[in-house]
Amino acid sequence: MLWASRGARLPAILVTVALTSLHSVAQEHAGATGAEGGHEGASHLERKYPLTENAPLQLRCSATAGDWCQKALKQEPIPWRTAPRGSKDCSPADCNNAGRCNYDTGLCECTAGWTGSDCATPQKRPCTNKQRTIADPRKEPTSFIGPDKRDLDWTNMAKVYSRCGGVCDDDVAICYCDGPMGRIPAPEGSPPGTPPIRRGRPLVTFHMAPTTTWDKKPAFGEHEYHLVYGPQGYCNVTEPIWMPNCGLDDLAGQNCDEPLEPFCPGACSGHGRCNLGFCFCDDGYYGHDCSRRKAGLPLLPSRIPTTPWLASVVREPPAALEPPPRATRRRPLVYVYDLEPLFQARLLQYRISPPWCVHRRHDLPGNHTVWSDMWVYAADGMLHESLLLSEHRTFDPEEADFFFVPHQASCLPFPIGSWADWPWFRGPGGPRPRQMANMLMDTVEWINATHPFWQRRGGRDHVFLFTHDEGACWAPNVLNNSIWLTHWGRMGLDHKSQTAFWQDIYDMEAKSPHQPEGWLVHTKGHACYNPEKDLVIPAFKQPKHYIHSPLLGAPSKPRDLFFFFKGDVGKHRAPQYSRGVRQKIYQLAKAGKWHEEHKFFIGGNDDEHVHGDYSEMLSRATFCLVTGGDGWSARLEDAVLHGCIPVIIFDRVHAVFESILDLDSFSVRIAEADVEKILDILKALPERKIKAKQAHLGHVWHRFRYASLPGLATELLALRQKNTDDPSAAPSDGALHLPRPFKGDDTVDDAFSTIMQWLHSRIPYTRG
């Protein structure tokens, strides 16, 4: 019933007939009544068994399509061999205290501000020095920052985000106060890696700079001068009259002077020090997460178990332990590249807002963990860290089934690319996807110059993640053989950018002296997604996002909302936004007063009828809209995680896991041409089929949430226990409300495990 992908247009009168023909697997799983048994299917099994690794295969592989799940679970384990260790020394051994040595390659990996084989060559990133103006990217650059790292002319009113109202740390383009509470850089000519004499209070972005100069001339900032630099100003006294947001990952507190644990993938394995995303490893340890030990040296205890705020969320990678934690393990085995930091760690160093580019962070009090999906591309960090800590990780490239490339391309366009005047990949200019595509081409060049693994199989065994709005539509052709994990499953070779955000138009040409041939010659000719080799994966949703879901054990309520969607309905967007789908449904519902007549709720933040707790309203809805925005939108995850039947409306686009799950068993798909019939189509669904789809949601929902990281599993268990202990958790009307609450191990067959199981099925492709 993939109406949209076939381009079919069914009259409403035929919909009921079509919907009665569910896939035989769905009939078996749902049972004769759709909700209660009749067959020994998954609905019956889930009442007898919790979902654990020992659960029956039929339960664990419920609602899957094909044999990938069964084959992954029935595979023969393989011996777990002790990891190899590198022994190639760097010169100098300490990389001038501005990097770390990789003992596999014998190369120094440099922190922000430094480059070269020995990390002794400055590579500065000034606060908008020679930055193009945002208003006209073709305009000649304007210089703002002088040699003393202070702004040259505050009366120049150009506003660029990293413009500095104090002293610029030009290693990372982050601004700090001037004056008594300000920054004092290391003396001129200091050795690489020399810290500043005084770090100072952060004053990031022009939003925190003064509106006037000291002599009251208009300046580029947004706050009164006395609040920043007056006698009781933030930059002048210990207890100021005004306190801005800290804006940095490793500082917090009322006066922005309390140290905080910053984010580094895997917390540097407890064998290094995290500097805003870059790990400085302890002596003899190496790798971008400091998980590896130089050959011939004894392993040392990790600090993670003795650091409570880290022990609660991460662990030392099992791949690093000697002897291995088990005698055997299961494929796939994945080698995670220690990339040139410019493609990964340094982009984390350049961010100036703690939630950006990460899936978790720490906060006061006590460095407690904050799981965050505020950064919509957070699956980048989630999948990367999950792999680092997974038993699927291998340090031996010779036994690896796949090579994961942990690039941070989605972090590059904003806040990085529009922040300061570097890095530019093959020159400035053009839309932001140009920078991302060029960065990935540079990444492949670096892999080929450093390792032999890409050429060995033409990149077929390399895995890239694309979380940006239009997924991999802009991916460079050099990656065409590789496996793409993406949020946007748009199919077909003939595709145009549909974003309403002009900076992200991926088919807009840009030529320059740095790239005279243009960039589209490197990206055109491939589909955004190929279901034969790629997979659409879920976006990360932190557990509290679905706290009121009955699947998480929250009080089960009648589904008294027929239809629900809350979000941007395109009131102030270009026509191509959401392909016009959200706009059309909103206009129909508003004109017909559907929310009054049919409990059909759709609206934006200014529409009263959709006001209320988002999770709670999703949990009360029978149907939830799933359609695109500027590209992908994580509405399928919202619907499934709350037990709401997804109504999928985008033609020739695969939804999350559509190529590997029986989506028809728990969703409804409507062609874009039939949007006007949405109410009739949904009203025509028989109650029995609605119950069957709701039952199936309970069989698959765990595959749409990430729970493999230790801290996520703990939080999910705590939320489930809290909901279960709630005296109102039992249905007040005594009725059975579907889907049933989840029972079992939160880490089993979650989104990450599902991706690994699917990758297992792709091993023959990589060996082809």
* Total number of domains constituting the chain: 1
339: nearest Cα among 185, 462, 238, 483: 462
Residue 589 belongs to a domain: yes
How many angstroms separate the CA atoms of 527 and 491, rounded?
6
The whole-angstrom separation of Cα 535 and Cα 402 is 15
Confidence at residue 768, expressed as pLDDT on a 0 to 100 scale: 67
Q: What is the pLDDT of residues 34-49, one digit of tens each?
A: 333 323 466 677 778 8
Positive or negative, the Cα torsion across 70, 76, 77, 81?
A: negative
Is 290 inside any structural domain?
no
**Single-letter residue type at 618:** L
- Point out the residues of the chain with pLDDT beneath 50: 1-40, 131-138
pLDDT at 424: 86
Domain of 562 in residue numbering reads as 546-726+733-750
Supply the CATH number for residue 657's domain.
3.40.50
Instruction: Give the span between the Cα atoms of 236 and 181, in whole angstroms.
Output: 5
Is the residue at 332 inside a domain?
Answer: no
Quote the pLDDT of residue 678: 98
132-139 long-range CB contacts below 8 Å, 24 or more apart?
132/421, 132/428, 132/429, 133/158, 133/160, 134/159, 134/160, 134/418, 137/428, 137/429, 138/429
* 19 close to 686: Cβ distance less than 8 angstroms: yes
Say if 663 falls within a structural domain: yes
Q: What is the pLDDT of residue 556?
A: 82
Would you state the pLDDT for residue 422?
Answer: 79
Q: Is residue 679 part of a domain?
A: yes
In the prediction, which pLDDT does 732 show?
Answer: 55
Give per-residue pLDDT as tens, 163-206.
899 999 999 999 999 999 999 999 988 999 899 999 999 998 88
pLDDT at 28: 33
pTM over 0.85: yes
Q: How far is CA 637 from CA 116, 184, 379, 542, in A?
A: 44, 48, 13, 11
Q: Residues 6 or more apart from 48 whose CB is under 8 A from it?
A: none
Distance CA 536, CA 478 (A): 20
In a domain, 248, yes or no: no
Flag whether 366 is in a domain: no
Q: Which two tokens stand for residue 600?
A: 């059909």
Kindly state whether residue 142 falls inside one of the protein's structural domains: no
